[in-house]
Amino acid sequence: MNQFVLAIDIGSSSIRCSAYRIETNGPLKQSDDYVLHLEAKHSSSHKMQCVSSETSKIPALQVLEQVDECLDKSLSSLRSFHVEQKRKFQILCVGISSFVMNLLAVNIDTGDIVESFTYACREDIVIKKVTELESTLGEQRCGDLFQRTGVPLHSAYALPQLCHYYSSSSKLDHKIKFQTLSSMCLARWQNKTYLDQISYSEASWTGLLDVSKGTWDSTALSFLPDGIQQCLPIPVDPSQNPISFSHDKNLEKSHPYHIKLPELYQEGTVLYLGEGDGACANIGSKCTSFHRIAMTIGTSAAVRVCLPYTINSKSSPITISKGLFCYRINSNYILVGGALTDGGSVVEWIQSLLQLQNFSSSSSSSDKTIKSLGFYECMQQVQQLMKYQSNHKSKLIVIPFLSGERSTGFRAHATGCIFGVTRQTTPAKFVKACLEGVVLRLYAIVSLMLPILQQIHDSNARAKDQSGDMVIVASGTALEKNSVWRQMIANCMGYDVILDKEGRTESTSRGIARIITLAYLENIRSTNDTIFFQDEPLLVVERSAPNASMGSQMQDKDYWNTLRDKQEALIQAVSSLW
């Protein structure tokens, strides 16, 4: 009988459901015994208001319906194939990841979604709440709160949004329970209106969790109405809390999901609480140790590293550099890094602004005119400029905050800025400066991460056992397709940038499958040994080495250092205008 893991990925612009067949070398008892093969995949696009507007509303019902649709299509594909092959199959476990943070205020009597909260919030009144909280706490207590929760006070997190939500009344409605999109999916499949648990991962991304203890932070909750903890689910490690359905014959007749998705209700099938998409992307791209830095550029951009740091660890507390985030993944791991709201969106913006068409100079497209410039032709010119950049000083500096700033300054009102335009500025120089602008912000994040990596390495025996040169593992559509961008990153940061065959695409879905399969393995083991992530071999498709085919290494390092200093000076100069 074929056994499958279902991985559901709720993204900010699309939803995917992927079915991974588990190929084993014997009884499924340890992580080395299995290989995941993608067998079926279905996706559905949706329009997220929170991505394109100043509001933070989630079309939750639409998202939940499309999750059901993708799940139904994946199961239908598996059924059809196995009927044709006259074979049986079993869904071993189901996992979900979603964009974080997201919270839904749900009426537990009716199941209605009363309000929604998300990372994309930039409402002025919420930003004002951030300022009020900073003033009330003071610099020292703000710093202490950051070290405990791993996130700064910012409109992207739950505390200021919930403060605004409750500002009109201090009374608490005990019929309201806070859920995530993944929790709502799991509740619906169980014929419930809410779940009373939340994964460490999704709880941490709200900014309300004490990362070291794995409990809601009392100082953060003190700004909300008394009794708020009763409205919040209990943070738990999903691997220790799998969900299995009771086989109630009466429920089978009355509950539509039993008819529509019967494989979920088979004996032995378990479901797991949702995980944050960033954590899944790291694990799916094979970055589970301190010497592999995951860099993802899609619409947004992020740099993250997965580090061993257990709940209530007896080792010295880690110090998180201001400008980064620190989220808990599970009982044994944390995720440290930073994120930019704008990554690939910067390329889309400049391409649209300069009307760069998607064809090369040799294209026979009927839309091509003599005056129009193809984007790929422009990128070839950018590549030529890179060969000689160490021989001149760049005059064009870009701050790529088109949608505000997250890492490293977390200034919600920040905007983009372009400095140094002259008569000699060409489209290629413009595009090059935009790419460099994003690279420099990612470099700022990596620079802040390095001391933490050293601290974890020095204090953690498991980290010391892991060997290897530091590399950047790239994923995300924007980075996968743009070799020039990858080369820029390698040159700037001084590390090889690798595209892995398995992890470069669908890294989030692959990460879900790997996380929940390990969770399943841990759940069925007869011993109490903890399963840690093992480094998977990298299957290198492309490798961008620093300074390859460019100027001398020292000259190129000087170029990037100068550019970094200029961008930082420009940010400081214009920040008062934000």
183, containing H or E segment: helix 181-189
Taking the model in full, what pTM does it have?
0.88
pLDDT value at position 461? Answer: 63
- Interior/surface letters 389-416, b for 16+ CB within 10 angstroms, e for the rest: bbeeebebbbbbbbbbbbbbbbbbebeb
| Residue 539, phi then psi, degrees to nearest 5 | -100, 95
Domains recognised in the chain with CATH numbers: 2-277 (3.30.420.40), 344-397+411-433+554-577 (no CATH)
Q: pLDDT by residue for the chain (578 residues), tens digit each?
A: 888 889 999 987 788 898 888 876 544 444 444 566 666 666 665 444 433 344 457 889 989 999 999 999 889 989 998 888 888 999 988 999 999 999 999 999 999 999 999 988 888 899 999 999 999 999 999 999 999 999 999 998 999 999 999 997 767 898 999 999 999 999 999 889 999 999 999 999 999 999 999 999 999 999 999 999 999 999 999 888 888 876 566 666 677 888 889 898 888 899 999 999 999 999 999 999 889 999 999 888 999 999 988 898 877 778 899 999 999 999 989 999 999 989 999 999 999 999 998 754 444 444 433 345 688 899 999 999 988 776 666 679 999 999 889 999 998 789 999 999 999 899 999 999 999 999 999 999 999 999 988 887 777 666 556 667 899 999 888 888 899 999 999 999 999 999 998 877 778 888 998 888 877 766 655 444 555 677 788 999 999 999 865 555 566 788 899 999 999 999 999 999 99
CA distance 442 to 302: 8
Q: Which residue type, as a one-letter code, is found at position 48?
A: M
pLDDT value at position 353? Answer: 93
pLDDT value at position 364? Answer: 45
pLDDT value at position 412? Answer: 78
pLDDT value at position 248? Answer: 61
* 510-to-198, 236, 286 alpha-carbon distances in Å: 21, 22, 10
pLDDT value at position 246? Answer: 62
* Strands 333-340 and 397-399, bridge-based pairing: unpaired
- The burial of 9, by beta-carbon neighbours within 10 Å (0-12 exposed, 13-18 middle, 19 or more buried), is given as buried
Angle (nearest 5°) at CA 485 between 306 and 54: 70
Contact present, 178 and 103 (Cβ < 8 Å): yes
CA distance 514 to 342: 28
CA distance 427 to 304: 32
pLDDT value at position 469? Answer: 86
Instruction: Select from 344, 367, 368, 381 the least CA-distant residue to 474.
Output: 344
